[in-house]
Amino acid sequence: MNKVAVIDYGMGNLHSVAKALEHCGKNVSVTVSSDAKTILAADRVIFPGVGAIRDCMAEIRRLGIDEIVAEVIQTKPLLGICVGMQALMESSQENGGVDCLGLVKGQVKLFTNGQADGKPVLLESDGEALKVPHMGWNIVQQTQPHPLWAGIADGTRFYFVHSYYITLDPSETAAGMTHYGVDFAAALSKGNVFAVQFHPEKSQHGGLQLLSNFLAWNGES
Amino acid sequence: MALAKRIIPCLDCDKGRVVKGVKFLDIRDAGDPVEISKRYSDAGADEITFLDITASHEGRETTVHTVESIAGQVFIPLTVGGGIRTLEDIRTMLNAGADKVAINTAAVFNPEFVREAAARFGSQCIVLAMDAKKVSAQGESNRWEIFTHGGRKATGIDAIEWAKRMVAFGAGELLLTSMDRDGTKSGFDLELNRAISDSVSVPIIASGGVGSLQDLVDGVVEGHADAVLAASIFHFGEFTIEQAKQYMAEQGITMRL
């Protein structure tokens, strides 16, 4: 039995990711939990997250999830999704500045690259004003081979919904890039960690393939 | 522009059954929202919107089960609207597997509800549904007002001001229905769409009035919509989702094909 723990810290919809995982593998047992023992007993771990990062980080620290995640990535594969990916970074601009887990070097920034009427705006290179949040299906260019990209065509569209994006320190590796006003890391890879800004559980074929690949991945790359 | 525009089929459900008629030629059960959602997802729908029009409490229990079933089989975003009045309603739907909830009437009666909902669950899952109707007379400059009760009750609230206010309160997306066009098949109210879309930073879903594939194109190109929602043109099999996406792509719109 392939045991997968989905880390639950009370933020958002974990049903979707659990259902998608169950759909992907036959001998998969999915547990949604915040309990250290349960999470550490799993073969692989999903670190999801939605909503405001200040609230997420507060709950992560209150429940001791920070220590659990740090321990998990020493020994088993971990897939970070959306705010789960952002939480791995050093800090976020959201909510006036929030310290994150610092497991991957880099920052989380607001989608903006210009000003209009004194307000930050996101502009495409042709001057078109873009909507924020970045919501919908966008192209992910794979920037390195990785077991989690197996069977997924380069340039496949995945479903995104976020207003903040990560910028990686040059010492870290993006696994996939997406363009929305700016180029940003839609996926990163670091040892046992693979993290994505998009929602694989909502990205139909490509997303389900990525989750299937995660279920077969034993970490490192 | 790499981000694709979205096509969202909408299912109106009463006690767990799709109403407003769905007539696929080869479907076993034309009223089953789970089967229909799967079909639309397989055909390339970018999201599904499920509007619950059930009045009774018992019926709403059924809705929760239906949402659970859809979420267990359809792996694209799912928005649930209709009767979302409390934070508990939102929690129930998110736990059942909805990714977003659409708030309409409850926001009109208590705008703070949108602020509380966004603060608790995040803007990414709060869709503000607004029903607008033109109230300016011919020759006057355009003015639209928010209506409730299926377009029967005026609220006196200016639609553009309302959109701006709801975004400031934390709505992450607006589902904009023209009550003048809903059910007419004469196309979206493009002026309304453009006026709202250009006034706010968040994505707009245009709704109400789709009768042809060109209407979908116009909604994006002329109406500045980020997504287009339609029910009957897909339900009655006039057009498939594939045809709609293909047509929009041929007109130069970025689509997920």
Contact B6 A15 (CB under 8 A): no
Q: B198 near B191, Cβ under 8 Å?
A: no
- Whether pLDDT at B29 is above 90: no
Where does the pLDDT of residue B14 fall: very low under 50, low under 70, confident under 90, or very high at 90 and above?
confident
pLDDT band, residue B115 (cuts 50/70/90): very high
**Cα radius of gyration (chain B):** 17
ipTM: 0.93
Distances (CA, A) of A109 to A52, A79, A167: 13, 21, 7
- Per-residue pLDDT, B20: 67
Q: Which residues of A touch B (CB under 8 A)?
A: 11-13, 15-16, 19-20, 23, 50-52, 121, 124, 128, 130-139, 157, 159, 161-163, 178-180, 199, 201-204, 207-208
Does B24 score more than 60 pLDDT? Answer: no
Tell me the C-alpha distance between A16 and A23, whole Å: 10
Does A180 sit within 8 Å of B94, measured CB to CB? no
**A-B interface: how many C-beta pairs under 8 angstroms?**
103
Residues B1-11: pLDDT tens digits? 589 999 999 99
Residue B22: per-residue pLDDT: 57
Print the SS3 string covering chain A: CEEEEEECCCCCCCHHHHHHHHHHCCCEEEEEECCHHHHHHCCEEEECCCCCHHHHHHHHHHCCHHHHHHHHHHHCCEEEECHHHHHCCCEECHHHCEECCCCCCEEEEECCCEEECCEEEEECCCCCEECCCEEEEEECEECCCCHHHCCCCCCCEEEEEECEEEEECCCCEEEEEEEECEEEEEEEEECCEEEECCCHHHCHHHHHHHHHHHHHCCCCC
pLDDT in the model for residue A45: 98
Q: Scanning every residue of chain B, which has its alpha carbon at the shortest distance from the alpha carbon of A139?
A: B2
Distance (Å) from the alpha carbon of A129 to chain B's nearest alpha carbon: 9
CB contact (8 A) between residue B122 and residue A203:
no
Average pLDDT over residues B209-219: 96
Section B228-255 average pLDDT: 93
SS3 (DSSP) at B154: strand
The predicted pLDDT at position B219 comes to: 98
> Residue A160 forms beta bridges with which residues?
A136
Mutate to test the interface with A, among B65, B115, B124 (most CBs of A within 10 A): B124
What integer pLDDT is reported at residue B171 of this predicted model? 97
CATH 3.40.50.970, applies to B6-250: no
| φ, ψ of residue A150 in degrees (nearest 5) | -55, 130
- pLDDT tens per residue across span B40-54: 999 999 999 999 987
Stated length of chain A: 221
**Mean pLDDT across chain A, nearest whole number?**
94
Domains and CATH numbers, chain A: 2-216 (3.40.50.880)
Return the pLDDT at B135. 96
- Name the helix (H) or strand (E) containing B63: helix B57-73
Instruction: Kindly state the tokens that stand for A66.
Output: 């920070």
Q: What residues in chain A have per-residue pLDDT under 50?
A: none
pLDDT reported for residue B23? 56
Do residues A42 and A34 make contact, with C-beta atoms less than 8 angstroms apart? no
